């Protein structure tokens, strides 16, 4: 029972692999599938660098085991980027200097997109406070966060049809 076969969908592709029970989702994505866009920071759920989507909901890739993802649909930053879903967020991060070393950026964008997607469903535009609150689980050690909040806010406004 220490190694288990799993079948899942990652960024739209079917994947079957044999994994050790102890392997975390983010290690599986990085080491077995070569999807190194999801980063590993603290490995205990504090920093948010490993944030990925599982069945449509963001999770900590370090706090879920790969074996638990049998049958699941996973989206990593690579998938979100290739589909164009976050193209405007990526552009806003670049334009507003919302990243310096970039280590936190994949997780930061996955968390921001989660907020914006939900806001769109509720037909609301998140305030700066709501943006800060939603991104509170993602550490950035470079920017001081202001530029990140600026970038996310500008995309929130643009997606709601407001010019800023």
Partner 1 sequence: MKPAPFAYTKARTLKEAVALLAKHKDDARLLAGGQSLIATLNMRLSAPELLIDINGVKGLDGIAKKGKFVEIGALARHAQVERSELIAKHAPLIALAMPHIGHPAIRNRGTFGGSIAFADPAAELPACLLALGAEIDIAGAKGKRKVKADAFFKGLFETALRPQEILTAVRIPAADKNTRAGFSELARRHGDYAIVGLAASARADGKGLADVRLAYFGVGATPVRATKAETALAAGNVDAAVAALDLDPPDDVQATGAVKKHLAGVLLRRVAKQLMEAR
Binding site for partner 1 (CB under 8 A): 1-2, 4, 20-22, 24, 27, 43-45, 48, 51, 57-60, 62-65, 67-68, 111, 114-115, 132-134, 136-138
Pairing of strands 3-10, 73-75: parallel
Alpha carbon of 41 to those of 51, 69, 124, 160: distances in Å? 11, 21, 32, 33
Taking the C-alpha atoms of residue 148 and residue 82, their distance in angstroms, rounded to an integer, is 22
Residue among 60 and 96 whose Cβ is closer to partner 1: 60
Residue number with CB closer to partner 1 (21 or 91) = 21
Q: How far is the CB of 76 from partner 1 (least distance, A)?
A: 14
Q: Which is nearer to partner 1, 125 or 137 (CB)?
A: 137
Is the Cβ–Cβ distance between 156 and 96 less than 8 Å?
no
Minimum CB separation from partner 1 for residue 163, in Å? 28
Q: How far is the CB of 114 from partner 1 (least distance, A)?
A: 6
**Among residues 117, 155, 111, 119, which one has the least CA distance to residue 136?**
111
Order across the sheet with 51-54: list the strands.
13-20, 3-10, 73-75, 51-54, 57-60
**Least Cβ distance, residue 106 to partner 1 (angstroms):** 13
Instruction: Give whichever of 21 and 87 is closer to partner 1, judged by the CB atom.
Output: 21
Name the residue nearer to partner 1 (CB basis): 2 or 161: 2
Q: How far is the CB of 95 from partner 1 (least distance, A)?
A: 25
Q: Which residues pair with 15 in a beta bridge?
A: 8
């Amino acid at each position: 029972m220490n190694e288990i076969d799993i079948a899942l969908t990652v960024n739209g592709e079917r994947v079957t692999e044999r994994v050790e029970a102890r392997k975390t989702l983010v290690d599986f994505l990085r080491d077995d599938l070569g999807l190194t866009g999801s980063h590993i920071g603290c490995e205990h759920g504090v920093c948010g660098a490993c944030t990925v989507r599982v069945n449509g909901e963001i999770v900590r890739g370090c706090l879920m085991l790969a074996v638990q993802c049998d049958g699941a649909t996973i989206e990593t930053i690579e998938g979100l980027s290739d589909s164009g879903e976050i193209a405007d967020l990526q552009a806003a991060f670049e334009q507003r200097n919302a990243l310096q070393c970039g280590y936190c950026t994949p997780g930061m964008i996955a968390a921001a997109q989660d907020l914006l997607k939900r806001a769109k469903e509720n037909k609301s535009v998140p305030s700066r406070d709501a943006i800060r609150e939603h991104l509170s689980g993602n550490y950035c050690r470079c920017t001081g966060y202001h530029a990140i909040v600026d970038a996310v806010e500008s995309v929130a406004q643009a997606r709601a049809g407001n010019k800023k």
